[in-house]
Chains A and B, each alone.
Chain A
């Protein structure tokens, strides 16, 4: 059993709508292990994105504790959380969420600017990342000039720019056709296999379970199923495929 990377302990997220309290996550207990590939599934509105934001330290729980590598980060300041996000977590969104004013290369460079990576190194690394997703020819295109699949590949490259340990992808294929979606999922599984990244993916696509060692079903703000597959089986499956 590999070590714990993120741990949620009785985590609640409650939104206050005027006088009404709207609990969106209701006492989540969850452990993400280093190097695992986790799939989160569940109906729309069940709280998946909310959970992802908490796992990605973009949001803080109303109640409960979040541990990152054994450290309780619940009480961390916004700046401390921003720093951890920048260094250890990469986000991939359904809407791609690239910055529209910037071209592909600049989008990938951006997270490195926030981490004070020197200019030459930034550019070199961004170009390498673009090339690894076969996007070097699109370096100077803005998001508006790219297809959905291309944008998502840039977004994944961007999520890797500070070489984070964790990639959090919230329905990364949700806006893509199935064949493009497959390419994206393969890219994520490559990252898991070759780069040993911890990957957390929200998806509605059951075939993605192929890639996954841990499938979590969430419904109405609660985990109703937390299913582990043997790592060995997974590795074998993947190696057969490739």
Chain B
């Protein structure tokens, strides 16, 4: 108990001397802030991206085949969403041996108006005719209230979070306006397991084309294998069909595509994102370590400047451990305080990006702010502070009191 009490006193002493060197203290803290800021913002965003993508992928059944435009390993192009599969591509897929049905899918953020309120919501376009079955059986979609839409009517279904969070009070049978067109809410889905997906609206692909003006193509095509066919076999068939079509239509420089089973997609996306996260983590850690070097530099300068002060403290009865503790508290404080600052800024940026991305509607992103991330970044920065302060504090505590007192 007594020990804790005196740690408190040493803490006060340490804070006073940090205050006495205000500018340098702030600069040192900023050095740490930058590193922690990088780790926190990048990690929470990349984790958010990962979660969003994985959740989307996880809903699909295992015997589904997905066809994406572009190379799946080329994340930048994939993410930008510029590429599309054309009508001709879809024909080729449909004709491949072993393919039972195909479902072109598309999505885009659009402004939706309900009872005077306007919100940007992600709209899924799925061909009801071919796709309703897949949505029900493979994606596990089911209706909580109301009914599935009637094909050909201007009816839409909304995710379970839409009547609660997005447009509170929305009911089956209500009108909603998308791009100036009027639709009737025919049904509300049961929760799909995450807020992002539950906050979407699904419409028939024809309606989607109408609303968005994107008449042709799809961002994803789902295909289901016929009974009795091996999924890998069907994948090969689709690939060769697509390749042939593209050669014929556009020549040698045809853009690439990816045909994958749903399982494979998850694996690839997961591992790519994992690698990106490791890289981010590595670079950001280096930034924190650089902050630590800044702490060490400041602490050594401080020890030199305060040599006389250390001598005085020893003359009035300070043990080496007391001097050591005071200096360690100072450097630990730099680390911890920098960590807190970096965390606040990092979370702030992550949230800002989350909102910015939501507003554009291209990707549904929720910055992942986990207790682990917070504890880790604070713990890590504090630890770096203590490690950086270890040698300077030791050299301070080991100073010969007489040499220190004679120091000018």
Question: Is B249 among interface residues, defined by CB-CB distance under 8 A?
Answer: no
Contact A85 B315 (CB under 8 A): yes
Question: Which partner residue on chain A sits nearest B400 by CB separation?
Answer: A59
Contact A58 B318 (CB under 8 A): no
Contact B402 A114 (CB under 8 A): no
**Which of chain B's residues have a CB closer than 8 A to the CB of A85?**
314-317
A221 vs B406: C-alpha distance in the bound complex, in angstroms? Answer: 18
Q: Interface with A: B1-9, B210-218, B284-292, which one?
A: B1-9
**Which of chain A's residues have a CB closer than 8 A to the CB of B163?**
none
**Which of chain A's residues have a CB closer than 8 A to the CB of B17?**
101
A72-110 at interface with B (beta carbon < 8 Å): 78-79, 82-83, 85-87, 91, 93, 97-102, 110
Question: Is B309 among interface residues, defined by CB-CB distance under 8 A?
Answer: yes
Question: Is A158 among interface residues, defined by CB-CB distance under 8 A?
Answer: yes
**CB < 8 Å neighbour of A114 from B5, B308, B319:** B319
A115 vs B2: C-alpha distance in the bound complex, in angstroms? Answer: 11
A127 vs B313: C-alpha distance in the bound complex, in angstroms? Answer: 20
A1-58 at interface with B (beta carbon < 8 Å): 50, 53, 56, 58
A3 vs B51: C-alpha distance in the bound complex, in angstroms? Answer: 81
A113 vs B2: C-alpha distance in the bound complex, in angstroms? Answer: 11
Contact B9 A82 (CB under 8 A): no
Question: Which partner residue on chain A sits nearest B318 by CB separation?
Answer: A114
Question: Is B55 among interface residues, defined by CB-CB distance under 8 A?
Answer: no
B303-336 at interface with A (beta carbon < 8 Å): 308-309, 312-322
Question: Which partner residue on chain B sits nearest A56 by CB separation?
Answer: B315
Question: Is A173 among interface residues, defined by CB-CB distance under 8 A?
Answer: no
Question: Is B20 among interface residues, defined by CB-CB distance under 8 A?
Answer: yes
**Which of chain A's residues have a CB closer than 8 A to the CB of B402?**
50, 53, 58-59
A58 vs B316: C-alpha distance in the bound complex, in angstroms? Answer: 10
B347-404 at interface with A (beta carbon < 8 Å): 400-402
A56 vs B316: C-alpha distance in the bound complex, in angstroms? Answer: 10
Question: Which partner residue on chain A sits nearest B312 by CB separation?
Answer: A97
**Which of chain A's residues have a CB closer than 8 A to the CB of B321?**
79
Contact B320 A116 (CB under 8 A): no
Q: Which residues of B contact A (CB under 8 A)?
A: 2, 5-6, 9, 13, 16-17, 19-20, 308-309, 312-322, 400-402, 405
Cross-chain pairs A/B with CB under 8 angstroms, 27 sampled = A50-B402, A53-B405, A56-B315, A58-B314, A58-B315, A58-B401, A59-B402, A78-B320, A83-B317, A83-B319, A85-B314, A85-B315, A85-B316, A86-B316, A86-B317, A93-B405, A98-B312, A101-B17, A101-B19, A110-B316, A111-B316, A113-B6, A114-B316, A114-B317, A114-B318, A119-B5, A158-B316
Q: Which residues of A contact B (CB under 8 A)?
A: 50, 53, 56, 58-59, 78-79, 82-83, 85-87, 91, 93, 97-102, 110-111, 113-116, 119, 158, 162
In order of increasing CB-CB distance, the 5 nearest A-B pairs are A86-B317, A114-B317, A111-B316, A82-B319, A59-B402
